[in-house]
């Protein structure tokens, strides 16, 4: 079984993907052989997708005060 991240490419009026030669050799694949392909899009996490989604039980000012207290007690 081959599991590899690759990029889809334009191929005439279609889209194709390339299977690296070393994977073809390793699996013993050949031209006109039927194979099963499972395609899963790679999702990238971007800051703009999560910005503002975190819901806190206390406001930011109170949270920062707590952090300052903890840091003061550890270092001073």
For the chain, give the number of residues.
76
Give the pLDDT of residue 76. Answer: 64
Query: How does pLDDT run across 8-56, given as a tens digit for each residue?
Result: 999 999 999 999 999 999 999 999 999 999 988 888 877 777 777 777 7
75 φ/ψ angles, rounded to the nearest 5 degrees: -110, -15
Residue 1 corresponds to which tokens in the numbers above? Answer: 């079984």
Domain spans, the chain: 9-75
Question: If we measure between CA atoms, which residue out of 68, 69, 6 comes closest to residue 37?
Answer: 6
Residues in a beta bridge with 66: none
């Amino acid at each position: 079984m081959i599991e590899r991240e690759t990029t889809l490419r334009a191929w005439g009026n279609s889209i194709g993907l390339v299977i690296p030669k070393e994977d073809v050799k390793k699996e013993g694949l050949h031209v006109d052989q039927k194979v099963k392909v499972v395609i899963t899009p790679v999702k990238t996490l971007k800051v703009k997708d999560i910005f503002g989604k975190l819901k806190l039980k206390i406001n930011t000012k109170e949270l920062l005060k707590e952090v300052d207290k903890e840091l003061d007690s550890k270092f001073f």
